[in-house]
């Protein structure tokens, strides 16, 4: 018996209608990025492992997909020993930020700084598949590198607000600063545990405070240190109230105070710019990636439970590990697959999204095709997406084809229409039908476009 084909867990096929919906997301995001002056680049799906390892923390490294070398790489390998470097030298990209940093260093002589780029490509993570968590998914990244100005952070907040406004989604942006987390590690007496504390805090909304507490104890923190962290991580109130509490706590940490100053300045810019998207300071926001050094962001839907749908932050040292120090950048990444799930779940995709053609010309036979084909070509040149059905099948089959593909308009031109120089077009949703002179392209386009 032939085995039914399947795809790996954590991946998905997208049919023509799903791709039309996904392209709506990509087109929306791309248009907003361009409106702020960002240019598009692409990087390879695979990178050298040396580029990827050590940039995402211990847990991130575990989720990297390694690519086995081709050829006779296994000839000299003994499999009861750890995999040798000659077996695996490349990996699939885990995100778009580290490859972007590599790109900046490699092409620095060709780039004008500050460099504003966006990238829309898939990434891969060897994660455990679950709702909203995939092994292959698209990220839509936008970054500005070569400036330390908080105006770059503000611009990203404005971009996020505009994207979700156009998509019709209510969201909230949570903002913290990695320097504040460093300050917390200092004031609780464990400055050398900042990475362990950050990784644990990053799981707070997933596993709850008790499990986070247990993990921090396992990393060597004392109960007294955790008692210092507890009220901070569970802190509520307005931005001003949270800021006042944190300033009183952070007095002994210069780094923590710098982080609070940056947060105060950023929230001031957000207010001055008139951003209406809800933004709140969340001191439990950690973002587990090791390369963040300043502001960190996370965006969640207010109407659909799925986790973050956008996130990012400031990184000061990422290009330094590739040989280009003092090149600060900041960026955010939109999770296209989660945004797609939210839009589907809330039925927020516009009704007019089509999976293909605007108009189908029915195939009534060879003689009628000689009349229809030039009209179809002219309508394509006028801006419509037009199909001509390939077979002279029964009309019901051609109607069903329109229905399955979501084509809203059908033209049936028989011998009478051809002789009279007319084109009949029917709106399949309303039943309205009109006849047009074959040369009156503007009228036909206006009817189909509504």
Query: Residue 290: pLDDT above 80?
Result: no
Mapping DSSP onto H, E and C, the string for 54-69 reads: CCCHHHHHHCCCEEEC
Q: What is the spatial distance between Cα 35 and Cα 30, in angstroms, rounded to a whole number?
A: 9
Instruction: Quote the pLDDT of residue 131.
Output: 80
Helix (H) or strand (E) holding 141: strand 136-145
Instruction: Quote the pLDDT of residue 210.
Output: 87
| DSSP-derived 3-state class of residue 442 | helix
Query: Residue 58: pLDDT above 90?
Result: no
Among 52-56, 77-81, 118-122, 246-250, the minimum mean pLDDT is found in 77-81
Tokens describing residue 246: 């944190």
Instruction: Quote the pLDDT of residue 204.
Output: 82
Q: What is the spatial distance between Cα 47 and Cα 208, in angstroms, rounded to a whole number?
A: 35
Query: Residue 79: pLDDT above 70?
Result: no
For 174-223, write each residue's pLDDT tens digit.
Answer: 999 999 999 988 988 888 888 888 888 888 878 888 898 898 898 889 99
Among 35-49, 53-67, 109-123, the minimum mean pLDDT is found in 53-67
Tell me the pLDDT band of 81, cut-offs 50, 70 and 90.
Answer: very low
Q: 144-148, 192-196, 283-287: which has the highest mean pLDDT?
A: 144-148
Instruction: Quote the pLDDT of residue 370.
Output: 96
Q: Which of 259, 306, 299 is nearest to 278 (CA)?
A: 299
Query: Residue 375: pLDDT above 80?
Result: yes
Tokens describing residue 61: 């490294």
| DSSP-derived 3-state class of residue 26 | helix
Tokens describing residue 197: 């504390």
Instruction: Quote the pLDDT of residue 80.
Output: 45
Tell me the pLDDT band of 71, cut-offs 50, 70 and 90.
Answer: low
CA distances from 165 to 60, 89, 138, 189, 344 (A): 32, 43, 20, 43, 16
Helix (H) or strand (E) holding 28: helix 16-35
């Amino acid at each position: 018996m032939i085995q039914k084909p399947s795809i790996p867990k954590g991946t998905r096929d997208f049919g023509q209608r799903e791709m039309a919906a996904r392209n709506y997301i990509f087109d929306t995001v791309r248009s907003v990025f361009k409106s702020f002056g960002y240019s598009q680049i692409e990087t390879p799906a695979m990178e050298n492992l040396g580029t990827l390892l050590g940039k995402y923390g211990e847990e991130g490294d575990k989720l990297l997909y390694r690519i086995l070398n081709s050829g006779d790489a296994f000839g000299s390998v003994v499999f009861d020993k750890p995999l040798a470097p000659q077996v695996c030298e490349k990996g699939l990209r885990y995100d778009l930020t580290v490859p972007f940093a590599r790109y900046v260093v490699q092409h620095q002589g060709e780039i004008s700084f500050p460099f504003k780029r966006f990238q829309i490509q898939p990434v891969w993570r060897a994660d455990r598949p679950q709702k909203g968590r995939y092994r292959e998914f698209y990220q839509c990244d936008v970054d500005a590198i070569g400036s330390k100005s908080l105006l770059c952070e503000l611009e990203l907040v404005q971009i996020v607000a505009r994207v979700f406004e156009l998509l019709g989604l209510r969201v909230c942006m949570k903002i913290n600063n990695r320097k504040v987390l460093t300050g917390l590690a200092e004031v609780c007496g464990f400055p050398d545990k900042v990475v362990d504390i950050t990784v644990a805090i990053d799981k707070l909304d997933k596993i709850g405070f008790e499990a986070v507490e247990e993990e921090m104890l396992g990393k060597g923190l004392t109960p007294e240190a955790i008692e210092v962290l507890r009220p901070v991580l569970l802190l509520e109130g307005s931005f001003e109230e949270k800021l006042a509490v944190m300033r009183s706590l952070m007095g002994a940490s210069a780094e923590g105070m710098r982080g609070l100053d940056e947060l105060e300045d950023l929230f001031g810019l957000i207010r001055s710019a008139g951003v209406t998207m809800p933004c709140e300071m969340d001191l439990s926001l950690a973002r587990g990636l090791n390369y963040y050094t300043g502001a960190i962001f996370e965006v969640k839907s207010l109407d659909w439970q799925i986790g973050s749908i956008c996130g990012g932050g400031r990184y000061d040292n990422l290009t330094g590990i590739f040989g280009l120090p003092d090149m600060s950048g900041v960026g955010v990444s939109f999770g296209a697959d989660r945004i797609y799930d939210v839009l589907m779940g809330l039925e927020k995709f516009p009704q007019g999204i089509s999976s293909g053609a605007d108009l189908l010309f029915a195939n009534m036979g060879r003689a009628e095709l000689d009349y229809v084909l030039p009209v179809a070509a002219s309508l394509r040149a006028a801006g419509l997406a037009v199909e001509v059905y390939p077979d002279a099948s029964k009309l019901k089959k051609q109607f069903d084809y329109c229905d399955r593909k979501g084509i809203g308009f059908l033209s049936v031109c028989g011998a009478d229409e051809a002789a009279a120089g007319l084109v009949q077009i029917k709106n399949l949703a309303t039943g309205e039908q009109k006849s047009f002179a074959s040369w009156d392209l503007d009228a036909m386009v206006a009817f189909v476009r509504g």
